[in-house]
Amino acid sequence: MNQTTDEEQQGVRPVGEGVPAARDVQVERSTKETEIRLRLQLDTDQPLTIETGVPFFDHMLHAMAFHGGLGLEVQARGDIEVDPHHLVEDVGIVFGQALAKAVDQHGPVARYGHAVIPMDDALSEATIDAGNRPYLVYRAEYPQPYCGAFAVELLREFFHGLAMNAAINLHLDARYGANTHHMCEALMKALGRAIAQAYRRHDRVRSTKGSL
């Protein structure tokens, strides 16, 4: 007797059954403040190339992509001598645009994703509804305001740019922790895993309305 997997029952199509190997999209953004080129491959964790000129931010993006199993290439430069704000925000915008483009070009996704990740003293959670209703809820009280030279308040700009441009409902909660680095890293890892779940291929639009 044939048995179906949970994913098959939910309409999620595994790669390899008449499905292209990878959903591959590229987005560029050029302003007077930043210049960003980003490539996203949703179905492969190719070697990551992330260079923004902001070391801690690179580290966070790498953690997100690695633990989400995402192929991510980011080449970014901006007026970081003034403040990394513009660059961090614009990377979020471009990453969000890449997720939206992947859906537009390659079809429906599973829609929902959720992950809770511990890191030593810290526990962080990410929940996504890729349902074309952009909204950000971000709860984090960090015990130290900086990680190295990076002001962690700037992560909100990345998350906001991501949520608005991917048109996702994004809830992020750095639940607790004694070390800011651990809290941020757990949160970015959770975000990567939630994205991986939400953007699994699906055979139909996941909405009772029939469209998003």
Number of folded domains that form the chain: 1
Does 46 score more than 80 pLDDT?
Answer: no
Read off the CATH number of the domain in which 119 is found. 3.30.230.40
* Whether pLDDT at 62 is above 60: yes
Q: How far is CA 12 from CA 157, 203, 207, in A?
A: 32, 6, 14
Tens of pLDDT, residue by residue over 153-210, are 999 999 999 999 999 999 999 999 999 999 999 999 999 999 999 999 987 665 555 5
Residue 130 lies in a domain: yes
Is residue 185 assigned to a domain? yes
Query: Domain residues for 24?
Result: 6-12+19-198
CB atoms within 10 A of CB 11: 14
Which residue type sits at 108?
P
Distances (CA, A) of 123 to 3, 84, 183: 37, 26, 7
CA gap 7, 60 in Å, rounded: 30
- For the beta carbon of residue 21, count every other beta carbon within 10 angstroms: 10
Residue 210 lies in a domain: no
Q: What is the mean pLDDT of residues 19-45?
A: 89
- Residue 44, pLDDT score: 80
Average pLDDT for 77-83: 92
Cα separation of 195 and 172, whole Å? 12
Report yes or no on 77 lying in a domain: yes
